[in-house]
Amino acid sequence: MSDYLMLILQLFWSFFFIGIFTFGGGYAIMSLIQSEIVMARGWLSEATFTDIAAISQMTPGPIGLNCSTYTGYAVLRNAGADVALSTLGSAAASLAVVLPSFIMMTLIVHFYARAHETPVFQRVLSALKPVVAGLIGAAALGLMVRIQWGGGAASFQVLEENFASWKSWVLFALSATATLHFKNATVKILLAGALAGLIGFA
């Protein structure tokens, strides 16, 4: 019991840390969650996190919060906790990831009206835009390949659990092409992908 409570506290701190440094919304936060929970702490596998990312995308609500909620639950279940403790882990991760934003926005709202048109504020926002794009790109890349650094060079290894067969590559190519050509049809693309998955992997 005490081990699970300690894990929940560690989970809370990890997601609080993620919440502090998250800029750019849900897709950007996924890269940080993957880096902290999967790669740094090893609480979940790449395949499990990919499933969580897919579920977070398809369910109602902000994808970053959904991903945090599901991850908190999965970490406790993966450690052998029962449903009640896993639900507590889910609540801890959800609260922790939104708490920094709540605190910061409460403080910022008092100064935004006076500061949002100042040159310094505009320069800060301009500097954050490419960072957000980089975080979103890192999240997408992290779900496809494992990057290892050694000897000053990087090696890339495709995550076979996420691309288990040629069907996975076909679905990936079709969804990427559809997203580029039909930018306002996200829901339809998701539903079509789910149906194709049910048919192709049944």
Contacting residues for 8 by C-beta, under 8 A, at least 6 apart = 76, 85, 88, 89, 92
Provide the pLDDT for residue 12: 95
Sign of the CA dihedral with 44 first, then 49, 50, and 55 last: positive
Domain boundaries, the chain: 2-125
Residues near 90 by beta carbon (within 8 Å), at least 6 away in sequence:
69, 70, 72, 73, 76
On whether the pTM is more than 0.75, the answer is no
Question: Left if phi > 0, otherwise alpha if psi is -120 to 50, otherwise beta: which for 154?
Answer: beta
Instruction: State the distance between the two ends of the chain, measured CA to CA, in whole angstroms.
Output: 39
CB 89 within 8 A of CB 7: yes
Q: Comparing C-alpha atoms, which of 37, 28, 35 is closest to residue 73?
A: 37
* Low-confidence stretches of the chain (pLDDT beneath 70): 23-26, 113, 115-116, 139, 143, 146-164, 202
Q: Which residues have C-beta within 8 Å of that of residue 26, sequence separation ≥ 6?
A: 56, 62, 63, 64, 65, 66, 67
Nearest CA to 56 out of 46, 44, 43, 69 is that of: 69
Please state the φ and ψ torsions of residue 90, each to the nearest 5 degrees. Answer: -65, -45
pLDDT tens-digit map of 109-165: 777 767 667 787 778 777 777 877 777 777 677 767 766 666 666 666 666 666 667
Burial of 29 (0-12, 13-18, 19+ CB in 10 A): buried
